[in-house]
Amino acid sequence: MRLLAALLLTTWLTACMTPAERAAQIEREVEEMIQVYGPACEKLGYARDTDKWRDCVLRLSAKDDQRFGRYDRRPTTTTCYGHRGFYQCSTF
């Protein structure tokens, strides 16, 4: 039991990020968004490195986040029951 507690505590402490590490991670995510959505916003007519272009990049990223559930990482279970074309499904 003590070994399990020690392992959990060690894992929890090593999973913590310093503010500098968090800032670096956010910077990498922003760079990825610019690489992915920047060209699309330029094709839509927004001049690169303007406020409207940045807004376009953020809107396209948010739309994909919502569409693909990037921030919903909880495991889900779907259960369906019924017969002859009448089904009731629930997802948790």
Q: Express each pLDDT in 38-47 by its tens digit.
A: 999 999 999 9
pLDDT greater than 70 at residue 84? yes
Per the domain annotation, does 2 fall within a domain?
no
Euclidean distance between CA atoms 88 and 92, whole angstroms: 13
Parent domain of 22? 18-71
Query: What's the predicted TM-score (pTM) here?
Result: 0.55
CA–CA distances in Å: residue 47 to residues 8, 22, 59 = 50, 30, 16
Per the domain annotation, does 54 fall within a domain?
yes
Q: What is the pLDDT of residue 79?
A: 84
Domain count of the fold of the chain: 1
Q: Tell me the pLDDT tens digit for each residue of 15-49.
A: 667 788 888 888 998 899 899 999 999 999 999 98
Per the domain annotation, does 56 fall within a domain?
yes
Q: What is the pLDDT of residue 13?
A: 58
DSSP-based three-state secondary structure for 89:
strand
